[in-house]
Amino acid sequence: MDAIDRAIILATQQGLPLVAQPYHAVAKQIGIRPDEVMARMRAMLDDGVIRRIGAVPNHYALGFKANGMTVWDVADERINELGELIGQLEFVSHCYQRPRHPPDWHYNLFAMVHGHDRSETEQKAAQIALLLGESCHAHEILYSTRILKKTGLRISA
């Protein structure tokens, strides 16, 4: 990583500017061309220096007030297949595997579901249950009670 890459990271670590051409704004701020900003960000993604470029919506501000982490006890030998299936649902924002912690925690598949109210979230969880079928032994919905600050690693100037 050179000084220009570092400048790009410093300029974008709080998020891309909310303007029509965010890469142009970053380029102007650090004194390079927009195509160079985009090329360097792509290279940093490819090299693993940065993990992703993506939107992080505030679901509460969008009206989704009943956000629930659905947790599922599914057959270990099918977790990849089932996780892929559930992760493709339009109402699931993220889906991943986590280790079980028996005897108290038997869940190994997690899927975040967003709903305007608990009834909607429960209906979506029921759709997941239907897809999982007999591979699912149990599930719960853990509802969000507050918004956690979503930030990654920050570097200083």
Q: What is the largest CA-CA distance in the chain?
A: 58
So what's the pLDDT on residue 70?
97
Confidence of residue 144 (pLDDT cuts 50, 70, 90): confident
pLDDT tens, residue by residue, 70-84: 999 999 999 999 999
Give the gyration radius of the chain's Cα atoms.
20
Tokens standing for residue 41: 């960000």
Mean pLDDT, residues 101-118? 94
Q: Measuring CA to CA, how many Å separate 50 from each of 32, 45, 54, 125?
A: 20, 5, 11, 33
Long-range contacts of 54-63 (CB under 8 A, 24+ apart): 56/15, 56/150, 58/147, 59/93, 59/114, 60/147, 63/116
> Does position 62 have pLDDT exceeding 70, yes or no?
no
pLDDT for 57: 64
* pLDDT average, residue stretch 63-73: 86
In this prediction, residues 115-123 reach a mean pLDDT of 94
- Rounded average pLDDT over 17-28: 92
Mean pLDDT of the region 137-147? 86
Six-digit token pair at 62?
């969008």
List the beta bridge partners of residue 109: 72, 97
Which residues, including other chains, have CB under 8 Å from residue 22's CB and lie 6 or more apart? Answer: 16
pLDDT at 153 over 60: no
pLDDT at 29: 96
Give the model's confidence band at 25: pLDDT under 50 very low, under 70 low, under 90 confident, else very high.
Answer: very high
The pLDDT value recorded for residue 38 is 95
